[in-house]
Structure 1
Amino acid sequence: MATLIDHLIKLTDHRERDLLELTLSKALIDLVPIQRVIVARVVSEEGIRRWLEVTTLDAKGGGKVVDPLRVDFQKLPLLEDNKDRLRALQTRSTVEIAWAGEDGPRITYFPLFAESLSDDEGALEIHSASVLTPEQVQTIGAVHHVFRNMYHLLAYSDRDALTGLLNRKSLDDTFYSAVLDELGEGDAVTKGASEAAVAPGQERRHRVPPNYWLGTISVDSFGLISDKSGHLIAEEVLLLVARIMNNTFRTYDRLYRLGGEQFAVLMHCPDEALVLAAFERFRANIEKFNFPQVGRLTICGGFTRVTPDDSPSTALERAERAVDYAQHNGNNKVFSHAELVRRGFFGEALKIGAVDLF
């Protein structure tokens, strides 16, 4: 059986956050005589907050790992549906529930993070046959602490320094790991270790499912804003755009800043019309917002379905072509690349390198 040190090494070996919850759960099942571990995260859409159980692992075998990009939000339980879990989250303290007598089975809830974070909230749920001993609680606390430290460290490396949105490196990582998992070409337990090494700058290509969409967003006339109002005001505009993105898109959509005034969204959605509606909501929210010292602004957006032969660069290029079309046709517009192709405005030929990706 692996020791505590062995599991701590596994936790600190990771270079992407998606596997940390599973590694935490496996460590606790191995080190402490418990029956089940659940890691539940808070996700929200249009102000409604629900529980997403991203990892469930049983001591007797079995469990599941859920990709937040592919959840059916309406089927998730509301936060109020699990009041004990919610109490641990709100009080930032441990909550223990004895549901079959004082010496019988219990569920212990721990806040997943020690502090309240705007986009990272959750609970660690431990099912045990009896009361956890102080030594067992200490072991859980030690592994949990290392998990939090690694999560924050990896989150920092994945984030754009100015806006706090995800960065281009994170887009590449998510693009490949998420689409492989959907196809079942490697489960969530092993996908990080089984991917072939790729040399810097080399494009990796895999088959991908039909319901991933990648979109890019650009602030209209941003150069004029910077020239007229100065660098600090321009940065404030980007921060506010990022905030409106966070408030408009779903918490499980992946939001990125690619550089300059360029942003991106990776989402899983069954229908092109729903993707268009999400981008249109964001366009409208930007249009009606009064930016301090700048006034009204607009954005252009473009999106594309991720195809079987795509790399991040080819998908980004198609989305950016739709943005370019919008900017050359009056600004303040959102287009689907596929719709523009269907209408005959341009063909499928790509101009790799035309987008400023960094």
Structure 2
Amino acid sequence: MSTFIEHIVRLTDHRDRDLLELTLSKALLDLLPVSRIVIARVMREDAESRWLEVARLDAKGGGRVIDPLRIDFSSLPKLEEAPDRLKCLALRDRVEVAWAGPEGPRITMLPLFSQLREEDQGVLELHSEAPLSDEHLQIIDHMRRIYRNMYSLLEFSDRDPLTGLLNNKSLDDAFYSAVLEDMNEVPASRTHETKADQERRHRVPANYWLGSVKIDNFALIAEHHGRPISDEILSRVARIFGNTFRTYDRLYRLSDDHFGVLLHCPDEALVLGAFERFRANVEKYTFTKVGRVTVSCGFTTVLADDSPGTAIEKTIKAVDFARRSGGNKACSYPGLARRGFFGVPQPDQDASTAST
């Protein structure tokens, strides 16, 4: 069994927030007399909230760790289907569920975060054969505090201070870890993969898309109205960005008026639909002292040999095409390429996909 200090070192050694839940779960399994650890986060899409178990590990081995980008949101349980978790969030305190008497097996639930921010809601569940002692609960409290501190530090370093979106620095790590799954630790559910399976998994991304958004005529807006108004526009567009896309899509501010999004979606038409909703939401919003503002969007599928730079370059070509066509448009790079706008027309790989 590893020592408490060793687990602190492992938890504070991370530079990737997506691995913190896995490391916390492993630490608690090692330090406590529990049979299972579950970390459930609240995920949102189109004003609906559901539970996502980002980590579920068993003391005897096995379990799973879920990449939020790859989930089917409609398959997740609704919040009301887990009333004890909801009670834990509402009370912001420990909730115990015992089903075989006061000294029997139970699930101990604690809020993962101390502050009930809408974007950071989660529950830590510990399954045990008997009540946890005060000493055990103290260990849990210490590990939660370390987790929260690391989460906050990494979030601060990954965020753009004006918009609250992820910054350019964090895109490279997310691109390679989420898209190519080039991670140091393989989830327990994949430990029996063959070498051929692992090589294929590292070569072929599965339906990931990268998109770029630029505000039409932003330089003229900034020149005419000044920096305070242009910063307000950037903040408002970022808020619409966050409200339109799913909570598990990764949203970025890549440069001054250049926003980006990394998402997982099985169909090009659905991706185009998401960008069209965002474009329309920006167009119908009334901006103070400016009135109507529009955006041009471009997106591309991520290929196995893409880097963040090459994928962004494709999205910018689609954005430039949208602007040359008058702006206030969302364009698909693969759709434009199939029509020959970037050279020799490419074959249509999926007849159901959108053309622009």
Aligned CA RMSD, in angstroms, stands at 1.7
- Give the alignment's TM-score, normalised by structure 1: 0.90
CA contact (8 A) 1:210 1:305 kept: no
3-state DSSP of counterpart to 2:203: coil
Aligned to 2:43: 43
Kindly state the Cα deviation for residue 87 of structure 1 after the two structures are TM-superposed.
1.2
2:89 is aligned with what amino acid? L
| Cα distance between partner residues in 2 of 1:2 and 1:127 | 20
* Residues 221-269 of structure 1 deviation map (CA, whole Å, 9 limit, x = unaligned): 1111111111011111111111101110001111000010000010000
Aligned to 1:172: 172
Counterparts in 2 of 1:188 and 1:262: CA distance versus 1, 3 Å: farther
Aligned to 1:271: 267
Kindly state the Cα deviation for residue 347 of structure 1 after the two structures are TM-superposed.
2.5
Whether 1:187 aligns to 2:186 is yes
Aligned to 2:3: 3
Aligned to 1:83: 83
CA contact (8 A) 1:180 1:186 kept: no
Identity among equivalent pairs (%): 58
- Name structure 1 gaps, 5 residues minimum: 192-205, 350-358
Aligned to 1:262: 258
Kindly state the Cα deviation for residue 116 of structure 1 after the two structures are TM-superposed.
1.6
2:235 is aligned with what amino acid? L
2:32 is aligned with what amino acid? V
3-state DSSP of counterpart to 1:315: helix
Mapping for residues 328-343 of structure 1, pairs under 5 Å: 328-343=324-339
| Cα distance between partner residues in 2 of 1:95 and 1:156 | 30
| Cα distance between partner residues in 1 of 2:307 and 2:216 | 27
2:259 is aligned with what amino acid? F
- Worse-superposed segment, 110-119 or 47-56: 110-119
2:156 is aligned with what amino acid? Y
CA contact (8 A) 2:64 2:187 kept: no
- Name structure 2 gaps, 5 residues minimum: 191-201, 346-356
Whether 1:122 aligns to 2:122 is yes
Aligned to 1:201: none
Aligned to 1:14: 14
Mapping for residues 312-351 of structure 1, pairs under 5 Å: 312-347=308-343
CA contact (8 A) 1:45 1:250 kept: yes
| Cα distance between partner residues in 2 of 1:117 and 1:310 | 35
CA contact (8 A) 2:57 2:64 kept: yes
Aligned to 2:239: 243
| Cα distance between partner residues in 2 of 1:124 and 1:186 | 21
Aligned to 1:31: 31
CA contact (8 A) 1:256 1:264 kept: yes
Kindly state the Cα deviation for residue 91 of structure 1 after the two structures are TM-superposed.
2.1
Mapping for residues 152-301 of structure 1, pairs under 5 Å: 152-181=152-181, 187-188=186-187, 207-301=203-297
* Residues 297-337 of structure 1 deviation map (CA, whole Å, 9 limit, x = unaligned): 10000000001110000000000000001111101000000
Kindly state the Cα deviation for residue 103 of structure 1 after the two structures are TM-superposed.
1.1
* Residues 176-231 of structure 1 deviation map (CA, whole Å, 9 limit, x = unaligned): 011233x8996247x9xxxxxxxxxxxxxx63314000000000011111111110
CA contact (8 A) 1:208 1:306 kept: no
Kindly state the Cα deviation for residue 90 of structure 1 after the two structures are TM-superposed.
2.1
| Cα distance between partner residues in 2 of 1:101 and 1:235 | 59
* Residues 20-76 of structure 1 deviation map (CA, whole Å, 9 limit, x = unaligned): 000000000000101111011111110000000000011111110000000000000
Kindly state the Cα deviation for residue 348 of structure 1 after the two structures are TM-superposed.
7.7
2:91 is aligned with what amino acid? T
3-state DSSP of counterpart to 2:43: strand
Mapping for residues 55-66 of structure 1, pairs under 5 Å: 55-66=55-66
Whether 1:97 aligns to 2:107 is no
2:9 is aligned with what amino acid? I
- Worse-superposed segment, 273-282 or 91-100: 91-100
CA contact (8 A) 1:303 1:319 kept: yes
3-state DSSP of counterpart to 1:57: strand
CA contact (8 A) 1:19 1:188 kept: no
| Cα distance between partner residues in 2 of 1:118 and 1:271 | 29
| Cα distance between partner residues in 1 of 2:39 and 2:290 | 43
2:10 is aligned with what amino acid? K
| Cα distance between partner residues in 2 of 1:185 and 1:20 | 13
* Residues 114-161 of structure 1 deviation map (CA, whole Å, 9 limit, x = unaligned): 002232211111111111110000011111110110011001111111
- Worse-superposed segment, 91-100 or 133-142: 91-100
